[in-house]
Amino acid sequence: MTWAIPCPPQPSLPIVGSDDRFPVRRIYCVGQNYAAHAREMGSNPDQDPPFFFSKPADALVADGATVPYPPGTDNLHHEAELVVAIGIGGANIPVETALDHVWGYAIGNDLTRRDLQAAAKKVGRPWDMAKGFDHSAPCGQLHPVSTSGHLTAGAISLSVNGDLRQSSDLSDLIWPVADVIAYLSFMVVLAPGDLIFTGTPEGVGPLVQGDVCVVEIEGLGQLTTHIGSATA
């Protein structure tokens, strides 16, 4: 058998302290997983179970790279997030053993065309073009659990051109990582290579051409993203 067209490249993440790379299968994202952010988006954080959307795996962007300002929007937003990498798959994973499925953690930036998202919400349309566009998933080096341990608390922050925009703590997650894995694995079978962007704290805001956006999570270092000019 040969491929009819050249096989698309396998999306992957670099790993801290290793020349190996982590192959990425799917990217899931949790919506409104910090109470103050849920409120700034006009929702009540006390009512609902977690909800999910996704990004294509080839939307990943490496640390230090430049993201071209995406077409179709006048309001590109940053969202600082903890990213979980799944090493052992499963369905209906119990909360109690959920963390055993985590291979490692990374820093992510869930780039969002906020104007398109707001328009989609208003008329009940899908979020794909607001969330899953090209270059929408900057994600840093993966820290293996074997060296970093599990991240249940620690500062998460985001700055733009040195100005602090988002500042919170992982302990403020409404649904902690274990709960997210349990819920998500009830809806879909998780597999090795899946990433989960776990949601952003309050303080989301716009990025413009020339901005330098830095996300920092205690224990994981920094993720830097440059915003470039519009794609031709």
What is the nearest approach in angstroms of Mn ion to the Cβ of residue 31? Answer: 7
What is the nearest approach in angstroms of Mn ion to the Cβ of residue 186? Answer: 21
For residue 179, give the H/E element and its range.
helix 177-187
Q: How far apart are CA 40 and CA 32, in angstroms?
A: 10
List of residues contacting Mn ion (CB under 5 A): 79, 110, 200
Complex with Mn ion: residue 110 or 194, whichever CB lies closer: 110
Q: What is the chain's Cα-based Rg?
A: 17
What is the nearest approach in angstroms of Mn ion to the Cβ of residue 83? Answer: 11
What angle is formed at CA 29 by the lines to CA 67 and CA 12, rounded to 5 degrees? 55
Complex with Mn ion: residue 15 or 174, whichever CB lies closer: 174
Complex with Mn ion: residue 63 or 79, whichever CB lies closer: 79
Complex with Mn ion: residue 15 or 196, whichever CB lies closer: 196
Q: Which residue is nearest to Mn ion (CB)?
A: 110
Main-chain phi, psi angles of 46, to 5 degrees: -90, -5
What is the nearest approach in angstroms of Mn ion to the Cβ of residue 79? Answer: 4
Q: How far apart are CA 171 and CA 157, in angstroms?
A: 13
